[in-house]
Amino acid sequence: MFTLASGEPVPAVSTGQMREVDRSMPGDFGIGLAQMMENAGRNLADLGHLLFAPRSVIVLAGPGGNGGGGLVAARHLHNRGLTVSVVLAGGPLAPVTAQQASIVTRMGILIRDDPAPADLVIDALIGYGLHGDPRGRTAELIGWAAARPGPVLSLDGPSGLDLDTGRPGTPCVRADATMTLALPKTGLAGAEVTGRLYLADISVPPLLYQRMGLAVPALFRDGPVVELHAVAAR
């Protein structure tokens, strides 16, 4: 369980419940993945700029929706005049993520083969779909992020962390801050690698949560990103 700064409780969800949210958004409400991705990436850019005030940013992006959100963040940070570059983890890109990669390329944002030093690393490698330890190029990029001294901002969860159990994989990003989406995932509670935890609005209607039997307060009355606090288990 988590709380807002006001003390209002915020329920955590399993990755299975989050998949239900992602299925229901387009099917029941007509809110598509591209809209959710845009909301996630814009909020991530805003949070990274607010917390760390970087002049340069490198985005590590996976092939799925998490990587797409990172690419959206790259666009928005580039538009603010920051020096932004991207490293793709490889593998076939999901269609919406491929569209974002095309936009980034057309905007003149550099897509690197290997990461380079920057004031801030955005970890958008793996979302809630992790199964087992990261492997291949993704594992190499996680290792690079974990070894560097500067701040890391993770999207949804630190890459390598099991968002159901809270077990850090080998390797696993150790984030200074994490911006999770829609609702916090159960594995984020008490995970030391998460850093400060924030929750971002991706336009999930309250009615969807009601249908799932979840009691969710008005999370974003003060803005589209809020800080969460974990409640220690008794």
Closest CA to 89 of 69, 116, 115, 63: 63
pLDDT at 198: 98
| Mean pLDDT, the chain, integer | 95
Q: 233 falls in which pLDDT band (50, 70, 90)?
A: low
pLDDT, one tens digit per residue, over 140-164 is 999 999 999 899 999 999 999 999 9
Domain ranges across the chain: 2-230
pLDDT at 1: 79
Q: Give the tokens for residue 6.
A: 């006001």
pLDDT at 230: 85
Q: Give the tokens for residue 141.
A: 């990029």
Lowest mean pLDDT of 68-72, 122-126, 140-144, 227-231, name the range. 227-231
Q: What is the mean pLDDT of residues 188-199?
A: 93
pLDDT at 234 over 70: no
Three-state secondary structure call for residue 18? helix
Q: What is the DSSP string of 28-46?
A: HH---HHHHHHHHHHHHHH
The span from the CA of 13 to the CA of 168, in Å, is 18
pLDDT at 94: 96
pLDDT at 162: 95
pLDDT at 21 over 70: yes
pLDDT at 45 over 60: yes
pLDDT at 231: 81
Q: 41 falls in which pLDDT band (50, 70, 90)?
A: very high
pLDDT at 132 over 90: no
pLDDT at 130: 80
Closest CA to 89 of 43, 40, 135: 135
pLDDT, one tens digit per residue, over 84-114 is 999 999 999 999 999 999 999 999 999 999 9
Q: Check: CATH 3.40.50.10260 for 2-230? A: yes
The span from the CA of 105 to the CA of 126, in Å, is 21
Q: Give the tokens for residue 8.
A: 């209002």
